[in-house]
Amino acid sequence: MSVLYLTEDDVRQLLTMDVALPAVESALRKVALDEAQNIPRQRCQTDQVMLHILPAAAKTLGTIGYKAYTTTRAGAQFHVTLFDPKTGDMLALIRADYLGQIRTGAATGVATKKLARPGAATVGIYGSGRQARMQLEAICKVRTIARAHVYSRDADRREAFAKEMSAKCGTEVVPVAAPEEAARGLDIVVTATSSREPVLHGEWVAAGAHVNLIGSNFLAKAEVDVELFRRAALVVADSKEQAKLEAGDFVAALKENALNWADVRDLPNVLVGRYPGRASAQDITVFKSLGLGIEDIAVAVKVYELARAGGAGVELPV
């Protein structure tokens, strides 16, 4: 038996946001319809490395598998392993750093398409790294964006981000020097930072805005303050079950009764209409992204299919 091995370069050649967006939306809908299973991220560690594993299965997607990655002070290493859902045979081993970036952007795109006002045309981004780039790209795929503001602590990085993403997205991207300028008066706001303390204050968020919280998946990290939840009409997570383990953005709001778990909705259930989305143009809506294994597996399947069709990758004997 052989297994298809795909490098980061292979994935970059095959995977686009246009491929990832429908794959992620379809997978989330399948979760709501009990056609797919997502297991919250599991972690274990030594004194030098942490291992993270995200399993998922969807027979109608043609696979069962998991994403695994390790994190150390030197960085992170990611891969997805896919198995045949009938025989259990290993199908593919796929390097998944770029894949994970795109799938996280795609999840935001799916949530923004559902929750942001139809005419939303301006964006604020906190962060200027690789994930912030994917966030803006995905949003520009689901809304016609006229202008975006980017804030990060490093002026040179936000200038470079603005120049690159203006060209890539075909829209005006403006670097801003004050954090509130990435939120005030804007239709869609995204936090995509590594900060442990709030970078976004709820008082800055305009009535009717949609907010995507991306950067934290540890209980000790929060990118936003409690005021956002006091003002929000709707709070949605990609997985409420996983949010209870990882949503650091919720911790202070829950303690102060600005948020209750009973009011948090699962994005899959909102997508299929089990719960309503935005009720009015003045509502502030919030999407908390944790990053799900089912999203990784759904995108990885598309990459695998494209690789098989195009002859990409290397066959490994196992």
Mean pLDDT, contiguous 10-residue spans, the chain (318 residues): 94 98 97 96 96 94 94 95 94 98 98 97 97 97 98 96 96 97 98 94 98 91 96 98 95 97 97 95 98 97 98 93
Whether residue 109 lies inside any domain: the answer is no
Query: Which of 231, 193, 235, 228 shows the shortest CA–CA distance to 214?
Result: 193
If asked whether residues 155 and 185 sit together in one domain, one would say yes
Q: What is the DSSP letter of 73?
A: T
Q: Measured between alpha carbons, how far is 231 from 204 in angstroms, rounded to an integer?
A: 11
If asked whether residues 134 and 74 sit together in one domain, one would say no
pLDDT at 1: 74
Cβ 234 vs Cβ 286: under 8 Å: yes
Whether residue 238 lies inside any domain: the answer is yes
Q: Measured between alpha carbons, how far is 95 from 102 in angstroms, rounded to an integer?
A: 13
Q: Measured between alpha carbons, how far is 42 from 5 in angstroms, rounded to an integer?
A: 24
Cα radius of gyration (the chain) = 19
Cβ 56 vs Cβ 65: under 8 Å: yes
Whether residue 173 lies inside any domain: the answer is yes
pLDDT at 23: 97
**CATH code, 185:** 3.40.50.720
If asked whether residues 143 and 206 sit together in one domain, one would say yes
Helix (H) or strand (E) holding 22: helix 17-32
If asked whether residues 281 and 132 sit together in one domain, one would say yes
Tally of structural domains, the chain: 2
pLDDT at 142: 98
Buried b (16+ CB within 10 A) or exposed e, 190-208: bbbbebeebbbebebbeeb
Q: Which domain holds residue 7?
A: 2-100+294-317
**CATH code, 65:** 3.30.1780.10
If asked whether residues 257 and 305 sit together in one domain, one would say no
If asked whether residues 283 and 298 sit together in one domain, one would say no
Whether residue 111 lies inside any domain: the answer is no
Q: Measured between alpha carbons, how far is 19 from 8 in angstroms, rounded to an integer?
A: 17
For helices 130-142 and 155-169, angle between their N-to-C axes, nearest 10 degrees: 30
Q: Measured between alpha carbons, how far is 213 from 189 in angstroms, rounded to an integer?
A: 8
If asked whether residues 19 and 85 sit together in one domain, one would say yes
If asked whether residues 285 and 305 sit together in one domain, one would say no
If asked whether residues 56 and 122 sit together in one domain, one would say no
Q: What is the DSSP letter of 224?
A: B
If asked whether residues 298 and 169 sit together in one domain, one would say no
Whether residue 263 lies inside any domain: the answer is yes
Whether residue 11 lies inside any domain: the answer is yes
* Residues with catalytic function: 67
If asked whether residues 86 and 212 sit together in one domain, one would say no
If asked whether residues 77 and 213 sit together in one domain, one would say no
pLDDT at 62: 86
